[in-house]
Chains A and B, each alone.
Chain A
Amino acid sequence: MKHRRSVEQHANEDAVSTAAPLVELVMRDQAPLLARRFFGDGPPSPITASLAQVPELLEVALPFIGAALGPGALDARAKELAILRTSALLECRYCVQTHTAVALDCGLSAEEVRVLRGELELDAAFTAERERTMLAWIDAVAAGRGTVDPGLQSRAAEALADHELVELTLTVTATLMLNRYCTALDLPVSAATLARLTEEGF
């Protein structure tokens, strides 16, 4: 499978990558005034630290990302299905590695995570019809190039309430935006996340 090889290759490259970030990551001592509330006590995430270059965008983008990717009408597990699967399809090294850890934290099994990352076939882990429909929808939105197949539209409309379908679709599309952002800027994955992934066998 071409996709599987590609994701694995990206992960391996990251593990040995020591390149400096493409853009300066703004640390707490240089955080612009309106960005400071988004900086906690620890080191900021690379997304926060890079967006801080443009504080007026950070102010609207981070709350949006938090709302779009965090739990809503769909629970955290469903959200991570969408985020990790989309990121794997878009081959976003940063998002795949970061959300592998998040997905494990949300209770997904290692096998489920490997399926979402494109390393195992779908049937190996997901059998519930609702989740299979969600995954088909995620694949169609993230990897498709036009309208979603009418048959899948009908299945999705049957399996999900309107507001769930809206939220799932927005989660996928917001993730697409972040995938492109993180990949283009070559954002680095934290050492803690990399260590965690190694420990978990990823």
Chain B
Amino acid sequence: MSAAADAIASGALNGRVWFYSNYHCNLQCSYCLTESGPRVLRRELPGEVILDRAAEAEALGFTAFGVTGGEPFIRDDMPALVAELGRRRPTVVLSNATLLNERRLRELEPVADLPVHVQISLDHPDPVANDEMRGPENFRKVMEAIPKLVERGIGVRIATTLEDPDAVDPEQRERLCELHRSMGIPDEDHVVRPIVNRGRAATNDLGLLAGFEQLEPELTVTVDGAFYSPFGPTVRGGRLDSDLLVSRATAPLQRPVDALLRIADQLPDGHDASIGIR
């Protein structure tokens, strides 16, 4: 058993490896960790790099994969990449679901038989309030995309990102849950998480401050290197944050894994790693 597998088994390290597939996005959300938008540099992680690192991760004992960005489905090769990842390990891909046109949906059909979930952002049961943070027409596009995924048998999760999840109006929360249940998404596939005060959220003075003590160690591979958590490779003022950088080298994957394990060993007892991107 590898040191990584031991750490995953003991709970010291999350079993999921994240890939930042790209940094550009068709949306420009007010709390985006990576300042993504249509005009930012793509900074794509090449498909072969994702698959090579995934194969290494599998051999080291990692148990799941995640893909995030940017908007992953802005990339033409994403459906095939997600399918290949899903053949190896359970995979979740984070998406705004606004680019899932008929062609993309057809390309995604092979993942219906695989342990793959598309995790879609939906913040509010009312279109106006939802679109305030996420951009015009977002609500409508999401409402159109979810049933099309569900009817193809593709796994869907809903992610709701809030300034303060504990302070949300219970009636509003219930209406949101009724909405996802009505589309066939059960409560266990609905995650509610706080805005994290990094990237554009920090610029806009939104969200929760989170240091590495509040974050779970989750190996995150980007074109800029390996990070401690998917909350690590954030961008503010056009500049990549390096405070959660583990190593610039990502290959062989054993190198950032060893470094991450050393960092995880330094976590103080009783640390609160309760913030999850999933």
Contact = CB atoms under 8 A, between A and B. Distances in A.
A complexed with B: yes
A30 B30 CA distance: 23
Contacts of B245: 32-33, 55
Interface of B: 212, 228, 239, 241-249, 255, 259, 262-263
A24 B241 CA distance: 12
A56 B249 CA distance: 8
A30 B232 CA distance: 11
A167 to B, nearest CB: 30
A6 to B, nearest CB: 35
A26 interface: yes
B255 A56 contact: yes
Closest 5 pairs between A and B when the two form their complex, measured CB to CB? A32-B245, A56-B247, A54-B248, A30-B242, A33-B263
Interface in A34-50: 34
A180 to B, nearest CB: 20
Contacts of A32: 242-246
A123 interface: no
A106 interface: no
Contact of A34 (B239, B249, B263): B263
Per DSSP, chain B at the interface is: mixed
A24 B248 CA distance: 15
A56 B259 contact: yes
Interface residues of A, number: 14
Which of A29, A31, A32, A56: most chain B Cβ within 10 A?
A32
A30 B259 contact: no
Contacts of B247: 34, 54-56
B241 A33 contact: no
Contacts of A33: 212, 228, 243-246, 263
Contact of A30 (B243, B246, B263): B243
Which of B228, B243, B246, B262: most chain A Cβ within 10 A?
B243
A54 B248 CA distance: 6
Which of A24, A34, A52, A53: most chain B Cβ within 10 A?
A34
A52 B244 CA distance: 12
A82 B247 CA distance: 33
Given A56-B255, A56-B259, A34 B246 contact: yes
Contacts of B259: 34, 55-56
Which of A26, A54, A57: most chain B Cβ within 10 A?
A54
